[in-house]
Structure 1
Amino acid sequence: MHAHQLPRAIDRALAGESILILPQTREGSIAEVSPSLWTGAGRAPALVLFTSGSTGAAKGVALSAEALTTSARATERLLAGPGEWHLTLPVNHIAGFQVELRARLAGREPIRTASPAFTAGGFADEVDALFARSGRRPRYTSLVPTQLHRILAHERAAHAAAGFDAILLGGSAVSPALLEGAVAHGLQVVRTYGMSETAGGCVYDGVPFDGVEITISESSTIDLRGPVVADSYVEIAETGHIMPIDSPNLTLDHDGSATMHTSDLGRLDDGVLTVLGRSDDIIVSGGTNVSPHALETGLLPTWQRHGIAEVLVTWVPDEEWGRLLVALVRIDGRASSTLAKDLASPRQLAGTLNALVTGMHGQLLPRLVFPVTEIPSRSIGKPDRSAAAALAAELMAAAT
């Protein structure tokens, strides 16, 4: 299915005339199949898509027309109403699909990025085209942090981004330093939290959509309940039939309301959610539990002032520590003179960077820091922590 065919296909799926099946990779094709292939109870889903696989094998997720449209309309209410959309994300993921859906409900196709590889220059060109046609309508886009990093480093792209009424930012952890840079450039950033199983972002700037309930479990993980939650996980048989499968991560209450039991650690303060990382990302080093997300968030504001654009904390095997903390860093332009002499030594670079950090006394810090060209990530921009650990092991072997 070509991009120009998707809006009408969305109409048919929302009307119950078909089921859209998104491919597992951005290179795949979107399929449109008959609702008769649904083997579960009740109405067939409007959409089947696959999770990013950041916590294991990708899983099929079935989303109803109600879940999808509830999410899209909630976004309109929380922003400035229906508007013009710029699509920078792959449409096989829920964040990209939701841009297509919101644009369709608003009555105008989005401006779609022309290249599979995101560039700040291409972004600026596409935004110019969007603004030229938008008139008085609100202007929106949806980004992941890696894209925003590149935009802020490009003068024309940063200027273009400042013209949006809102920029939805999600998909992975957002550092305070990145948000500070966005504010300094006049960008209107809305931090989003959600997943495939919640029809995309359902918590904006820590506040849930109307009808979405957040609870923190006894193990400090986040549970999400409400009309945006998926019907079920599914498997697709060789015959094409779509079969719901049970999972403890996605449950139904006695009244039929669905709850997504996430692996994300969180905290609620007066109803505002703070995401603290994933429980299954925790690194045990020397008997101490370390949240890589929390460590990255703490380190980057200081490290960024010395030329570190991005940081991803991972580990390598170690006889003494079990898992030795390692940081992969992307250097933005030229490193400061403070770091330049240490770039060839991962241990010295770690020592120099750690010495710059204040306010993190008593916390384990990375013992090795490796500069890399790109931080490992999945197609939607989420950090690929499995690939990062493998890369760290390779770099460690090469350095010894």
Structure 2
Amino acid sequence: MTRELRVVDASRPEEVFVALREALTAGGAAVVPRSAPSGTRSMPEPGAAPEPWPSAGERVAQNVALVIETSGSTGVPKRVALSADALLASAAASASALGGQGQWLLALPAHYVAGAQVLVRSLAAETEPILYGGGHFEAERFASLAQELDHDLRFTSLVPVQLARLVEAAEAGSRTVADALRRFDGILVGGQALSTQLRERAEAIGARIVSTYGSSETAGGCVYDRVPIGTAVVRTVDGQLEISGPMLAEGYLGEPDRTAAAFHEADDARWYRTGDLGSVDDAGRVTVLGRVDNVIISGGEKVLLDAVERAVREHPGLHEAVVVAAEDARWGQVPVVVVEVSGEATSSATLETLRRAVRERLGRAAAPARIVEVDRLPRLNSGKPDRVVLARLAAALEA
């Protein structure tokens, strides 16, 4: 059996919410939340127009309730098919880990899996979510909406840059924002690595922070504060993290080869190869080191650019910096820090201080060769930095 696909404008989260309710409870069409074109790269060839999708009358398997469209670091779009069972299993595991079901403030776009899952959790809890809506993220607006939450348990889901803006506003003296941070019983933070420094600053204000790890293929976060939630299991195979559990996606629509490469059966379970390097200790705690495809060899030494980026973001003024690879005649490749124009981040003193801090933490080869400023950090439709374009921009500016 099959069901239709329904594209819903993600800038109207209230419509996505209604469509998801129908998909999960009434056998309605599978939901495809789609963002408006942003001008960022979403296909392999720069400037190429994406093919219309879905086509009129296109259908998916009956169990598929949500399709998340993503663009990875290679720019090749993925259409991740999630079943109703996977979405609800993820929501149940999250509620168990957080101490119960509650009311949510949606501050992420509904076409992100984390944003869609805020709506799914709200449906599972039978609570009405508070919707931030469109426009740039503003700390005072977020704080005002947080006051509208009236359930005994209150939650939200953020990316690190949003949390940073809230913390900065609270530290600058905004009592409203500080009270809002303390009002939540849990603030999930994922999408990118959360620095220890930012977490400590948020917790010093009184925020209850929960770092999450997961992806569209796992129906969002399935590891909270390094511990798998619900019945999720995480293991390593040849240094790469693999995840098993009821929250796994069905696969990628129309791409059986890609699905087979990412999902496989082993040890009486179905596993998802995450593409992330990491480790799992004897107590089951998960450590994520970085992407398998985001490693360079500099002067004969292996350098994990994700680790360099985490270290760089702990430096004042660089919490949104991105680290990419650049060709180097002497070392082969070197890490380069890319930041938006700020006026003072690229001073020679800043670079030397940064190089020293990274070198002491990760070794000589990891020390950034330079800091490059751009007018704006290009982003993928997922909201993550477009590292391919950033590497090209950095190379062009250096040339």
Q: TM-score, normalised by structure 2?
A: 0.83
The aligned counterpart of 1:79 is 98
1:103, CA displacement in angstroms? 1.0
CA change 1:33–1:191 in 2 (3 A) is farther
Match of 1:109 in 2: 128
Q: Which moved more, 1:283-292 or 1:172-181?
A: 283-292
User: Which residue among 334, 337, 357 is the counterpart of 1:327?
Assistant: 337
Matched, 1:162 2:175: no
Alignment CA distance shift 1:263-1:244 (3 Å): closer
Pairing 1:206-245 to 2, within 5 Å after superposition:
206-218=226-238, 220-235=239-254
Q: 1:206-225 CA distances to partner (integer Å, 9 max, x unpaired)?
A: 1112221111011x111101
Aligned equivalent of 1:192: 212
- 1:240 maps to none
- SS of 2:147's partner is helix
Classify 1:319/1:27 alpha carbon distance in 2 versus 1 (closer, same or farther; 3 Å). closer
* Letter paired with 1:104: L
Whole-angstrom CA distance in 1 between matches of 2:23 and 2:157: 23
1:96 matched to 2:96: no
Please list the CA deviations of residues 289-344 of structure 1 after superposition, one character each: whole Å capped at 9, or x if unmatched: 2111111223443x22xx43333211222222222321124688x85xxx7xx62x
1:395 maps onto 2:397 in alignment: yes
Residue 144 of structure 1 is matched in structure 2 by: 159
- Name which of 6, 13, 25 aligns with 2:35: 25
Task: Give distance in 2, aligned partners of 1:356 and 1:231.
Answer: 43
Match of 2:44 in 1: none
The 1-side partners of 2:96 and 2:352 are apart by 48
Partner residue in 2 for 1:266: 278
Instruction: Provide the rounded CA distance (Å) in 1 between the counterparts of 2:379 and 2:114.
Output: 16
Are the aligned partners of 1:89 and 1:380 in contact in 2 as well (CA < 8 Å)?
A: no
Secondary structure class of the residue paired with 1:235: coil
SS at match of 1:223: strand
Alignment CA distance shift 1:160-1:215 (3 Å): same
- Mapped partners of 1:222, 1:55: distance in 2: 20
> 2:139 aligns to what?
120
Match of 1:384 among 379, 383, 386: 386
Q: In the TM superposition, what are the counterparts of 1:369-380 in structure 2 within 5 Å?
A: 369-372=371-374, 374-380=376-382
1:356–1:46 distance in 2 versus 1, CA, 3 Å = closer
Q: Cα–Cα, structure 1 residues 323 and 8, in superposed 2: closer, same or farther, change >3 Å?
A: same
Unaligned segments of structure 2, at least 5 residues: 1-7, 39-51
C-alpha distance in 1 between matches for 2:380 and 2:332: 27
Any conservation in 2 of the 1:19–1:44 contact (CA below 8 Å)?
no
Deviations 1:321-370 (A, max 9, x none): 222321124688x85xxx7xx62x5xx64224323554444443011113
Task: Measure, in 2, the Cα distance between the counterparts of 1:48 and 1:235.
Answer: 12
Instruction: Give, as a single letter, the amino acid of the residue that structure 2 aligns with 1:187.
Output: A
2:316 corresponds to 1:318: no
Q: Is the 8 A contact 1:52 1:93 kept in 2?
A: no
RMSD of aligned Cα (Å): 3.0
| Structure 1, gaps ≥5 residues long | 237-242
Q: Distance in 1 between matches of 2:114 and 2:272?
A: 17
Separation in 1, partners of 2:353, 2:384: 28
* One-letter amino acid of the counterpart of residue 296, structure 1: E
* Corresponding position of 2:302: 289
Which runs of structure 2 are paired with 1:358-373 in the superposition (5 Å)? 358-372=360-374
Q: Which amino acid aligns with 1:202?
A: C
Report SS of the residue matched to 1:116.
coil
Deviation, structure 1 residue 233: 1.3
When residues 320 and 231 of structure 1 are mapped into structure 2, their CA distance, relative to the original with a 3 A threshold, is: same
> Is the Cα contact below 8 Å between 2:13 and 2:110 reproduced in 1?
no
Q: Distance in 1 between matches of 2:207 and 2:392?
A: 36
Identity level (%) = 37
SS at match of 2:371: strand
Deviation at 1:389, TM superposition (A): 1.0
Say which SS state the counterpart of residue 290 (structure 2) adopts.
strand
